[in-house]
Structure 1
Amino acid sequence: MTNLSDLIQRLADWLFMPWILIVLMGGGVFLTLRLGWVQLRRFREALGAMVAEQSRTAGGPLTPFQAFMTALGASIGTGNIAGVATAIISGGPGALFWIWCFGFFATAIKFCEAVLGLHFRVVHGDSVRSGPMYYLRDGLKSPALAWTFALASCLAALTTAPFSQPNSIGVAMAQVFPGGEVSLPWLGGVSRTALFTGLAVCVLTWAVVIGGIKTIGRVAEKLAPLKVGLYLLGGLIVLLTHLPALPGVLATVFREAFSFRAAGGTAAGLGVVIAMRYGVARGVYANEAGYGSAAMAYGTARSDRPDRQGLNAVMETFIISCVTSSISALTILVSGVAQRSIAAIRAGGAGLTSTAAVAAAFNTSMPTLGGWIVAFCSFLFGYTTLIGWAFFGEQAMEYLFRGRGTKAYRWVYCLLIPFGAIAKPSAVWAWGDLMSVVQVFPNMIGLVGLVGLAARYATSKEA
């Protein structure tokens, strides 16, 4: 009998191929052309925009750097570790090429989200309301689409982040601290380590979320650079240790991206289709382009320059798609962990996947220490994403209910985290795929409909 996670995964597969692929890849190509290749033309300027000064006259609770780090912290979650590893093992090495491909065009999507988020935000002193619901309502003049997006975003925040992020953190911690199982009523045997990890993350998330966006911004400003730097350093050590294997792996990535053979550990069908499906699915889960979350984060900046926030979004997407995601994929490929897992799954066994695969890859170069690095980075990745998405869901909640129920939302959000930590990874990621679809459609309609305004910011420093 087909279980629930399989049914959810089938529905997500049907929506991703070809509908979401067309919307995101097609939309990304269209926006790139319409914005005049802004991600290439203004890339050097984007490097400097990360540390741009705040405006003295503009409203907003966060400095531009804090807004950038909040967006980066929320986007670089465990999807960059667990999600990318799952993409490679399920879709084959060619999935990495499609992560890069989508990442390039996703920069234009994120640019539009950030620009429109700041342009259409509603400011009352330090209090800011921002997100796709405002540019859908006030820019596209479609309250129905705005309400649809807000509802989807609120549900996604409550049913995706509190499950996917602590789940991957729990998997990583269980690799380092295998503590056996504990029996729970109605849930049966669950990992003791994952359970206690979920409870700890719940308390730590509540301690920040309860303070609102200013507290979230201050924490993200400190933790986001730390997690990227540490993961990059550990990944480079693994790549240097297995440097002779790197050219062959890169050749395989490009060859498998267009292969017509069956690909991956569990997928069946044409390799190019499967690689593209998992590459785009995990790519969007990693960089969140099309979700509309960038509009909520960059809309909080104390800035009156939408183009600067758009350039920050370009750098954010570049870091995620070309740095952190590449580290996860290449380390499991050059170390041979991915190949062994794929072979084991094809033979009917149980190969490593999710965060466990990346931890095993790091351990090949740094025994024991590598697993610790992945576990710690997984915690930082998941934690900053959790606190960022708490704010995104809260913004959607405030739009739907005009500020009522915010405190209750924060409590429910945090209390779901322990359940996410002990859930089955397959069900968590299948649900994540499905919920991402629900947000993308109304948001992309808004971006395409308002691309003319975004293009003015893309081609001129003042609009």
Structure 2
Amino acid sequence: MEIFNNIISELNNYMWSYILIAVLVVLGTYFTFRTRFVQFKYFPEMLKVLKDPATVSSEGKRGRSSFQAFTVSLASRVGTGNLAGVATAISAGGPGAVFWMWIIALIGAASSFIESTLAQIYKVKDKDEYRGGPAYYMERGLNKRWLGILFAVIIIFTFGLVFSSVQSNTISLAFDQAFGFDRFWMGIILTVMTAAVIFGGIKRIAFVSQIIVPIMAVLYLILALFIVIMNFSEIPAMLSLIVKNAFGFQEVVGGGMGAAVMMGIKRGLFSNEAGMGSAPNAAATAAVTHPVKQGLIQTLGVFTDTLLICTATAFIIIMSGEYMNPDLDGIQLTQAALTSHVGSWAPAFVGGAIFLFAFTSIIGNYYYGETNIGFIKESPTALFIYRLAVIAMVLFGSVAELAIVWNLADLFMGIMALINLVAITLLAKIAMAALKDYREQRKQGKDPVFYADSIDGLTGIESWEYRKHGESKNK
């Protein structure tokens, strides 16, 4: 197992050092300028469209609302990356990793806008609901079904299996630290709970996410805000430390600027998923009047995840000074940091919080795999086998070593992101045209509505009606 882990680690170092970081930064910057800084200029609009109700189809069926799709994607985003991932980044890359986590969120938000808008444009009907994502826009937008199948296979493995094991690994470690609870039995409990939800379908997933995600995020942010207020005088020194360490001016832990950049971007991407190709699967399920609305909402998800929740964790850890302890890493570092601030009840609180954060991530991750199995082939047998595999990986992650599950996650996350980033770059002009259409309608005081013929030459559309003919059909 150690040899296998070393091989995965070497592949990760090569891919992240020489390829992926450059691609993420360059394309994020490119999309930021192409959209005229949509992630900043349209922030008030994001909050406005979040309240939009779901549209009703011509058959009288109400789809999933923007808020429901937002919470399904946030359920996947908000999890281990926010509590354990941030801790891992700081322990390996120093406080400067937080700065690069912020940077990748700010510029990566534009990539998130592009991919989620495309997912809405090329979504397909699934009985009384919608589904879509990168595999669908690769097939329908690029006419490359083979590429869509390749991406579908990778996301099924990455999210449904590997990322689920990361989440269960963190839960079991947190409960072991807080309560001395046996990791194997924690795994058994998690597998039973996971099975109960995933066999209930996406409606139950959306329902569970809509209730749990906002509550757990708000409670955690309240605690973080309390800690920051109690240590308010330390904020200037902490921000100075983050910036200095980000550029290698003041090495505290880790390997200076290189480690800070790599770990900040790695863990930032794992947490907010901007440009990775995962959130578009949830974005496509929303029933909205215009694709850009869901693109904006998913961009808001990136900010919520990184600039709020990840930053809260980072401040708690840095202010505690516990990141200097070489024996602490991952969720146990977060627990130790909270203990130093609020007392001995903190490990139990983090254990409960990470259970909610990570369990909803398992649910969201599962759905990404399910919708991509449907893309490859509608097969009840394949879906049943996939569900069993998810349950098995949840149990495996509960007892596996920390390094192995994180290295696997980094490798497949990187492969996924590269394929998706190439696809959205090739299709960016479609998302740009949709944004232009949205802007023009807003200037006219309208609630923007999208049609299959709103963009000249657009093909491969199934779920949007034609303005000229008033009926849905393939073009």
- TM > 0.5: yes
Task: Tell whether 2:210 aligns with 1:221.
Answer: yes
Name the stretch that deviates more: 291-300 or 54-63: 54-63
Task: Tell whether 2:314 aligns with 1:329.
Answer: yes
Aligned counterpart in structure 2 of residue 366 of structure 1, from 310, 335, 342: 342
Residue 369 of structure 1 deviates from its aligned partner by 2.3
Give aligned pairs, total.
437
The 8 Å contact of residues 81 and 271 in structure 2, kept in 1 or not, is answered as yes
Q: What residue is the counterpart of 2:55 in the other structure?
A: 55
Task: Tell whether 2:224 aligns with 1:235.
Answer: yes
Aligned counterpart in structure 2 of residue 147 of structure 1, from 146, 149, 156: 149
The 8 Å contact of residues 169 and 382 in structure 1, kept in 2 or not, is answered as yes
Task: Tell whether 2:313 aligns with 1:313.
Answer: no
The 8 Å contact of residues 38 and 458 in structure 1, kept in 2 or not, is answered as no
Aligned counterpart in structure 2 of residue 401 of structure 1, from 377, 392, 404: 377
Task: Measure, in 1, the Cα distance between the counterparts of 2:187 and 2:48.
Answer: 38
Residue 302 of structure 1 deviates from its aligned partner by 1.9
Task: Measure, in 1, the Cα distance between the counterparts of 2:13 and 2:298.
Answer: 28
Q: What residue is the counterpart of 1:298 in the other structure?
A: 283
Q: What residue is the counterpart of 1:431 in the other structure?
A: 408
Q: What residue is the counterpart of 2:191 in the other structure?
A: 202
Task: Measure, in 2, the Cα distance between the counterparts of 1:175 and 1:370.
Answer: 11
Instruction: Decide whether aligned partners of structure 1 residues 382 and 133 sit closer, same or farther in structure 2, where only a CA change above 3 A counts.
Output: same
- Matched letter for residue 178 of structure 1: G
Q: What residue is the counterpart of 1:175 in the other structure?
A: 177
Residue 304 of structure 1 deviates from its aligned partner by 3.0
- Matched letter for residue 354 of structure 1: G
Instruction: Decide whether aligned partners of structure 1 residues 150 and 361 sit closer, same or farther in structure 2, where only a CA change above 3 A counts.
Output: same
Instruction: Decide whether aligned partners of structure 1 residues 56 and 221 sit closer, same or farther in structure 2, where only a CA change above 3 A counts.
Output: same
Deviations 1:200-245 (A, max 9, x none): 1111111111111111001100011011111101212222232222
Residue 156 of structure 1 deviates from its aligned partner by 0.8
- Matched letter for residue 437 of structure 1: G
The 8 Å contact of residues 56 and 63 in structure 2, kept in 1 or not, is answered as no
Task: Measure, in 2, the Cα distance between the counterparts of 1:6 and 1:246.
Answer: 38
Residue 260 of structure 1 deviates from its aligned partner by 5.8
The 8 Å contact of residues 80 and 170 in structure 2, kept in 1 or not, is answered as yes
Deviations 1:265-293 (A, max 9, x none): 4xx4xx21111100100000000112211
The 8 Å contact of residues 89 and 264 in structure 1, kept in 2 or not, is answered as yes
- Matched letter for residue 143 of structure 1: R
The 8 Å contact of residues 148 and 442 in structure 1, kept in 2 or not, is answered as no
Residue 333 of structure 1 deviates from its aligned partner by 0.4
- Matched letter for residue 448 of structure 1: T
Q: What residue is the counterpart of 1:15 in the other structure?
A: 15
The 8 Å contact of residues 46 and 297 in structure 2, kept in 1 or not, is answered as yes
Instruction: Decide whether aligned partners of structure 1 residues 126 and 72 sit closer, same or farther in structure 2, where only a CA change above 3 A counts.
Output: same
- Relative to the length of structure 1, the TM-score reads 0.91
Deviations 1:341-390 (A, max 9, x none): 2xxx3xxxxx2110111111111222122222211110111011100110
Aligned 1:27-426 pairs, distance under 5 A: 27-57=27-57, 61-179=63-181, 192=182, 194-259=183-248, 264-265=253-254, 268=255, 271-339=256-324, 341=325, 345=326, 351-404=327-380, 405-426=382-403
The 8 Å contact of residues 60 and 303 in structure 1, kept in 2 or not, is answered as no
Give the SS at the match of 1:53: coil
- Relative to the length of structure 2, the TM-score reads 0.88
The 8 Å contact of residues 54 and 63 in structure 2, kept in 1 or not, is answered as no
State the percentage of identical aligned residues: 30
- Matched letter for residue 184 of structure 2: L
The 8 Å contact of residues 20 and 437 in structure 1, kept in 2 or not, is answered as yes
* C-alpha RMSD of the superposition: 1.7
